[in-house]
A and B are shown apart, each in its own frame.
Chain A
Amino acid sequence: MNALPQAPVTRERGLHLLREMLRIRCFEDRCVQLYGELKIRGFLHLCNGEEAVAVGAMQALAPSDAVVSTYREHGHALARGLAMNALMAELYGKESGSSHGRGGSMHIFDVSRRFYGGNAIVGGGLPLALGFALAQKLQRQSALTACFFGDGAVAEGEFHESLNLAALWRLPVLFLCENNLYAMGTAVEVAESQTDVAAKARVYRIDAATVDGMDVFAVEDAARGAAAQVRGGGGPVLLELRTYRFRGHSMFDAQLYRDKAEVEAWQKKGPLITLTTKLKSLGLMSEEDYQRLEREARAEVEAAVEFAERSDFESVTQLERFVYTERAP
């Protein structure tokens, strides 16, 4: 796969990436609390520890690109630029939410940002991503479709069908496998005869690379290189981003399937620590910078909570809306 020269590490770039990751971390942490207080219900899948994947990858995408994601999508949505107010309101189920409150945490959509969800079915988004890419190709657009999925989806038939078809028809899909080593409670070793996801993609004649998902610079560089290749008409590319999920699969998870020691070991090399350590060691940021950025992130999250709190629920009389299209497309 072509590799673009690594972009230089600067204070501006570093602080930008840190800010983006802090927004996600603070948002997710606040969600834990809100869920405990019964403000957010249903299933809640948080991405603590995986922030670098979302933030790094999004740096390589343009507004005209399409993004398909999974149920662990808050980070992807925020990094893509969805309004935090609308996102929080959606988690609250309020009418001002990004999906009118109809979807909740697992079904975030924002057509204006070409963010197409948000899928509760593991692997369900891959065929959909093929469709967006097919349309981009037939309409001769230079855009691509970024498709996030986890290691669990790799086991589904849809993964194989989709990689095959994407390669066969040379569709502009950037497959982004967020491998956090566990599909709910099942470790990759227990689920896959071949645990090297990038190797699986190469069997379908798709260029692939494995990336350290904890290093946001590495993620951004790899994503830019892969995106450039896809945009150049080279067919689909797959990046396997090795990362780790600090919290349970969802809120209600006793994590019986992994050691606390393992979690703690990964937390010590998480994306925020990795980036902060690197920037500080290069003299590009201070602890004050970190505190300031964290304060700002938390303030933004609080404002979103207040927005959600004072928003209204949709009236029950509107229950049967949105089954069919209400206006001509």
Chain B
Amino acid sequence: MEIEFRLPSLGADMERATLTTWLKKPGEAVHRGEAIAVVETEKGLIDIECFDEGIVSALIVEPGTKIAVGTVLARLTAAGTGVPPTSVPRAAAPATAAAAAAPAVRVPPPPAAPAAAGPAGEAAARLRISPAARRRAQELGLTDAALGRLAAGGMGGIVHIEDIERLAAGGAAAAPAADARDAMRVVIGNAMARAKREIPHYYLGHTIDFAAARSFLQRHNAGVPVAERLLEGILIAKAVALAAARIAGFNGYFRDGRFERAPEVNLGMAIAVRGGGLVAPALLAADRKDLRTLMHEFSELVSRVRSGHMRSGEFTAATITVTSLGEDGVEAIYPIINPPQVAIVGSGCVVERPGVCEGSVAVRPQLTLTLAADHRVTDGRAGARFVCTIAELLAAPEKLR
């Protein structure tokens, strides 16, 4: 039986050696553990041992030759008796580190590049704009042309979220008033078009008896100065905020293909801007504040919006929005969701109608609530629970304090 004697590895970083001297000749016997040759390595001359018993039949490699680890140096014929020859390596190679699990960091995909070609596209490509501002611009459907007009006005030559929001609210400082209004229309139009295109809206409507809320407000407002009186809209806002905290799926953002539940309920309050247009800055943590605080903060928001002193954080903070056309005398509003939010609650004006109360017909103040929600996140059942929760809260307004 033939045994192959190969150059052994003698060190972690040894790859090759030079055969210097053979210590055995063909025909000579080799005993286990005997040195059979001398090789030269980076570290110096080392004897290499043979672990088999046998007779050398052939020396394959000539002295002076450089060989790699594992090269066959000689052949032996196994001795007739004694320990079987060394087995040929047969273990499978281990899985390499290349198959290691990828790190757990979730890398969000970049926002889709604006679909623009030609010079306007190049201008946008050279634009220095923060990642958050670029994402907001896309949510609002801002074109590169609009972004390009912004570049000159950006702080330090860089476009920030505030610049985008100002543009959306019609506050672009560089443009004259009429152009600004047109620009704003375009922005709003683009944003709404995108919302309608991408968000599968479903709608629910619910008419509620507003008597309890009304009398609660009357009682409260009778005892306080004008500055501290509560508006209907604040009751509704608080009810919506509490419902949004309780029922999952209506408070947060749909981004990068999935719904991110927001840890806080930052209620966007739709406020009309002088000269036309709408903004929806947020009342932060609205579910956790009392009515007085909410009313106060809301008044402050309105005055700042009307005077143009808004803060960028307020615009991007809203996690769900409330809108009302009650003042304009409309019974129900079917609103469009502001991306990346996933819901918007509308309320109309309070209407006196015949209704049934405790078994008999009477004139009741009624309010129609509407919900537009993102069907990628919730369905009608969840929406119904959400709307009914709002209704229950408005029916027992003491709990809204």
Contacts and interface: CB of A to CB of B under 8 A. Distances in A.
Asked whether any CB of A lies within 8 Å of a CB of B in the complex, the reply is: yes
Interface of A: 29, 32-33, 35-39, 41-43, 92-93, 250-256, 298, 309, 313, 315-317, 319-320
Interface stretch (B10-18, B246-254, B256-264, B330-338): B10-18
A39 B86 contact: no
Contacts of B45: 254
B46 A315 contact: no
A251 B33 contact: no
B8 A36 contact: yes
Nearest to B14: A252
B298 interface: no
30 contacts: A33-B8, A33-B51, A35-B8, A36-B10, A37-B9, A37-B89, A38-B9, A39-B89, A43-B12, A93-B94, A250-B11, A252-B10, A252-B11, A252-B13, A252-B14, A252-B41, A252-B43, A253-B43, A253-B46, A254-B41, A254-B43, A254-B44, A254-B45, A254-B46, A298-B83, A315-B95, A316-B96, A319-B100, A319-B101, A320-B101
A151 B257 CA distance: 64
Nearest to A299: B83
Interface of B: 6, 8-14, 33, 41, 43-46, 48-49, 51, 69-70, 83, 86, 89-91, 94-97, 99-101
Contact of A42 (B12, B43, B83): B12
A315 B99 CA distance: 10
B49 A32 contact: yes
B87 to A, nearest CB: 9
Per DSSP, are chain B's interface residues mostly helix, strand or loop, or mixed? loop
Contact of B101 (A41, A92, A251, A317): A317
Contacts of A32: 49, 51
Contacts of B10: 35-36, 251-252
Contacts of A253: 43, 46
B2 to A, nearest CB: 17
A5 B90 CA distance: 53
Given A254-B46, A317-B101, A319-B100, A309 B12 contact: no
Contacts of B43: 252-254, 256
Nearest to B40: A254
Nearest to B88: A37
Contacts of B49: 32
Nearest to B43: A254
Contacts of B14: 252
A150 B14 CA distance: 26
B356 to A, nearest CB: 63
Residue picked from A32, A41, A298, most chain B C-beta under 10 Å: A32
Contacts, number: 69
- Shortest Cβ-Cβ A-B pairs, 3 listed: A36-B8, A252-B11, A254-B44
A36 B10 CA distance: 6
B94 A313 contact: yes
Contact of A256 (B44, B48, B69): B44
Contact of A36 (B9, B13, B33, B44): B9
A313 B48 CA distance: 29
B9 A35 contact: yes
A33 B48 CA distance: 10
Contacts of A39: 89, 91
A317 B8 CA distance: 32
A33 B86 contact: yes
Nearest to B50: A33
A2 to B, nearest CB: 42
A298 B94 CA distance: 27
Given A35-B8, A251-B11, A256-B44, 15 more contacts: A32-B49, A32-B51, A33-B86, A35-B9, A36-B8, A37-B86, A38-B70, A39-B91, A251-B9, A252-B11, A252-B12, A252-B41, A254-B41, A254-B43, A313-B94
Contacts of B11: 250-252
A325 B91 CA distance: 32
A32 B9 CA distance: 9
Given A38-B89, A39-B89, A316 B101 contact: yes
Contact of A316 (B8, B46, B97): B97
Nearest to A254: B44
A154 to B, nearest CB: 25
A320 B104 CA distance: 11
A322 to B, nearest CB: 15
A126 B154 CA distance: 64
A298 B90 CA distance: 21
A38 B46 CA distance: 18
B202 to A, nearest CB: 42
Nearest to B41: A254
A37 B41 CA distance: 17
B15 to A, nearest CB: 11
A29 B51 CA distance: 9
Most buried by A among B11, B48, B95, B99: B11
A92 B14 CA distance: 18
A307 to B, nearest CB: 12
Contacts of B12: 41-43, 252
Contact of B100 (A37, A252, A316): A316
Contacts of B96: 316
B8 A37 contact: yes
Contacts of B70: 38
Nearest to A38: B9
A247 B361 CA distance: 107
Contacts of A313: 94-95
